[in-house]
Structure 1
Amino acid sequence: MTSTPVSGTRLGLALPQYGALADPAAVGRFAAAAEQLGFASLWVGDRILAPREPSDLYPGGGTPEHPYPEEFGTFADPFTTLATAAAVTRTARIGMSALTGPVYSPVLLARALTSLDLASGGRLDVGFGLGWLREEYFATGVPWAGRGKRLDALLDALEALWTGDPAEHEGPQWRIAPSTVGLRPAQEPRPPVLLGGFSPPALARIGRRADGWLAGWMPRQYLSGLWSVAVAAAEQAGRDPASLRQVLRINPRAGTGIESVADVRPCLDVAREEGFTEVFVDLHYVAKDVDHALELAAELV
């Protein structure tokens, strides 16, 4: 079944990956059913650890008493989850929203992402962000300071590994000697790279060098205001802003004003009016288990 646009958008779904839905053995069944329902894309997130006393509060509503959603305490690997979904689907795109880019080695990351793109037949969307939890940086041996520059360097290194022949990169973080890289992505010249972020510098980076924005639901004036920064940066860099994708993530959750599947429809209308042609819904906060998530997914379409 091909995906059906909903309110002018391509509708996607987060794969079961964390909280009560963290069941790696159920990912294949869920992904196949989601594609059959008509969902156009399937997505994963990235959470490395859940410290008991974090230095930072979750920007989506964390408080000192509840610094982040309790669901974050159980989180399956994003690469394994996407590989499983790729193996049982044929048309749905698979993507990350988003990997905490600076904590990864570009050489190992390029190998994994290229393999995923080939395994999916060229359906991979690569998504990166800076993350918000400094303990994840400490745990992976990566400095918290300068993470924006490190993300830029990661993008440079990935570009070299995906397109160079031989591939090489020289920078303060990594030195990649001229090397043969026989494995190339299915998509040419590389998979699309989407970046998350909710600050003017993040949107400027998207305009300068990314293929699109991974946004989270927020009041529409902020969506349009931030996007205008990306548009201006793209124009200044000599790029066509119309070529940039806008992908919106919606997380129904108690106390947010979007508390059920029924509340998603008005958001889709706003997204379409703001220029978003791709939206995906994360059901982890409202579904009791994987079967319940599939029931809610059926209601969405």
Structure 2
Amino acid sequence: MTTTPAPGPVRGLRLGLALPQYGALADPAAVARFAAAAEDLGFTSLWVGDRILAPREPSDLYPGGGTPEHPYPKEFETFADPFTTLAAAAAVTRTARLGMSALTGPVYSPVLLARALTSLDLASAGRLDVGLGLGWLREEYFATGVPWEGRGKRLEELLDALDALWTGDPAEHEGPQWRIAPSTVGLRPAQEPRPPVLLGGFSPPALARVGRRADGWLAGWMPKQYLTGLWSVAVDAAEKAGRDPGALRRVLRINPRLGTGVETVADVPPCLDVAREEGITEVLVDLHYVAKDVDHALELAGELLASAEM
């Protein structure tokens, strides 16, 4: 049997692509076709996001440019389930990493989340990257019965509980939010001791948590000085915790979108140059805001790779 080698980096960068999941691209039946084609093109990772609902009058504005008139992108009104989307991609790909950028961690029960993530890691033969963040929309917390206050501490405990469920024998956890009785957990991740955990966030406390607890940072496109400054917080926290900051990953997310300065696929290569200058080796490009449909997204993905390789 011939094994297809994993696609290599593009000029020192491993390029990932968001799977069709929301807005005009929200077509669960097209995920498998898109994922297989993206891997064949040479993308080394495939990603999903997490949006639970789109309230008509939200309490919070989308931090990526929300206004009172348009509190969040209209694309958020149609959003497919991230676990189902990744499972469909896992079934038809062989080499691409599969990740989340990012699940709103505190709204999930650790026992149910660990079961789903472990199943995905096994289904993909150990290709899962677990991405978690706090989210920004308090109505999502209210709708899932989770308090908005204390969400940072809840995320910290979620990480503790996931570690216990992935590595404990028997697995158990006792904390302010959850009690997991000593239990046999026969289903274990393919990756040992667990899948990599990447954390999102754009504040000093969030980056300190990355340095103390995570395997890397899910970063968003921002001016170079902010990328550098925030990353220094994670590096400092890792050193204080006795961890090797050089082992931490950075995945830079780029969303071509009107009004951001990165509005077309042609605007992405200069961002890749900045990533290289910063020592970032992994980039995720999300085409949901510029693609008309799934076929158009694949067309743009091909253009992106061609321009990135120039």
TM-score, scaled to structure 2: 0.96
Q: Structure 1: where are the runs of 5+ without partners?
A: none
User: Which residue of structure 2 lines up, in the alignment, with residue 74 of structure 1?
Assistant: 78
After superposition, the CA RMSD in angstroms is 0.6
User: Which residue of structure 1 lines up, in the alignment, with residue 51 of structure 2?
Assistant: 47
User: Which residue of structure 2 lines up, in the alignment, with residue 28 of structure 1?
Assistant: 32
Q: How far apart are 1:46 and its partner, in Å?
A: 0.1
1:187 is aligned to 2:191: yes
User: Which residue of structure 1 lines up, in the alignment, with residue 125 of structure 2?
Assistant: 121
1:235-254 to structure 2, matched below 5 A, reads 235-254=239-258
Q: Distance in 2 between matches of 1:162 and 1:4?
A: 30
Deviations 1:208-227 (A, max 9, x none): 01000000000010000000
1:126-205 to structure 2, matched below 5 A, reads 126-205=130-209
User: Which residue of structure 1 lines up, in the alignment, with residue 279 of structure 2?
Assistant: 275
Deviations 1:44-100 (A, max 9, x none): 000000000000000000000000000000000000000000000000000000000
Which runs of structure 1 show a deviation greater than 6 angstroms over 4 or more consecutive aligned residues?
A: none
Q: Distance in 2 between matches of 1:142 and 1:275?
A: 38
Deviations 1:258-291 (A, max 9, x none): 0111100000010111111000100000000000
Amino acid at match of 1:223: L
Q: Distance in 2 between matches of 1:179 and 1:81?
A: 29
Q: Structure 2: where are the runs of 5+ without partners?
A: 306-310
Q: How far apart are 1:300 and its partner, in Å?
A: 1.0
Amino acid at match of 1:181: V
User: Which residue of structure 2 lines up, in the alignment, with residue 56 of structure 1?
Assistant: 60
Q: How far apart are 1:7 and its partner, in Å?
A: 3.1
User: Which residue of structure 1 lines up, in the alignment, with residue 292 of structure 2?
Assistant: 288
Q: How far apart are 1:167 and its partner, in Å?
A: 0.1
Q: How far apart are 1:255 and its partner, in Å?
A: 1.2
Q: Distance in 2 between matches of 1:4 and 1:294?
A: 19
Counterpart of 1:89 (choices 82, 90, 93) is 93
1:218-237 to structure 2, matched below 5 A, reads 218-237=222-241
Secondary structure of 2:295 counterpart: helix
Amino acid at match of 2:134: L
Q: Distance in 2 between matches of 1:54 and 1:271?
A: 34
Q: How far apart are 1:6 and its partner, in Å?
A: 2.1
Q: How far apart are 1:3 and its partner, in Å?
A: 1.9
Counterpart of 1:298 (choices 285, 298, 302) is 302
Amino acid at match of 1:252: P
Secondary structure of 2:90 counterpart: helix
Q: Contact (CA 8 Å) 1:7, 1:268: kept in 2 or not?
A: no
Q: Contact (CA 8 Å) 1:19, 1:71: kept in 2 or not?
A: yes
Amino acid at match of 1:191: P
Q: How far apart are 1:8 and its partner, in Å?
A: 1.3
Amino acid at match of 1:143: P
Q: Contact (CA 8 Å) 1:32, 1:89: kept in 2 or not?
A: yes
Amino acid at match of 1:124: L
Q: Distance in 2 between matches of 1:269 and 1:76?
A: 32
Q: Distance in 1 between matches of 2:244 and 2:172?
A: 28
Q: How far apart are 1:4 and its partner, in Å?
A: 3.4
Q: Distance in 2 between matches of 1:6 and 1:18?
A: 27
Deviations 1:176-228 (A, max 9, x none): 00000000000000000000000000000000010000000000100000000
| Number of equivalenced pairs | 301
User: Which residue of structure 2 lines up, in the alignment, with residue 103 of structure 1?
Assistant: 107
Q: Distance in 1 between matches of 2:185 and 2:250?
A: 31
Secondary structure of 1:112 counterpart: helix
Q: Distance in 2 between matches of 1:85 and 1:299?
A: 22
Q: Distance in 1 between matches of 2:279 and 2:74?
A: 33
Deviations 1:235-276 (A, max 9, x none): 000000000000000000011110111100000010111111
Q: Distance in 1 between matches of 2:10 and 2:270?
A: 11
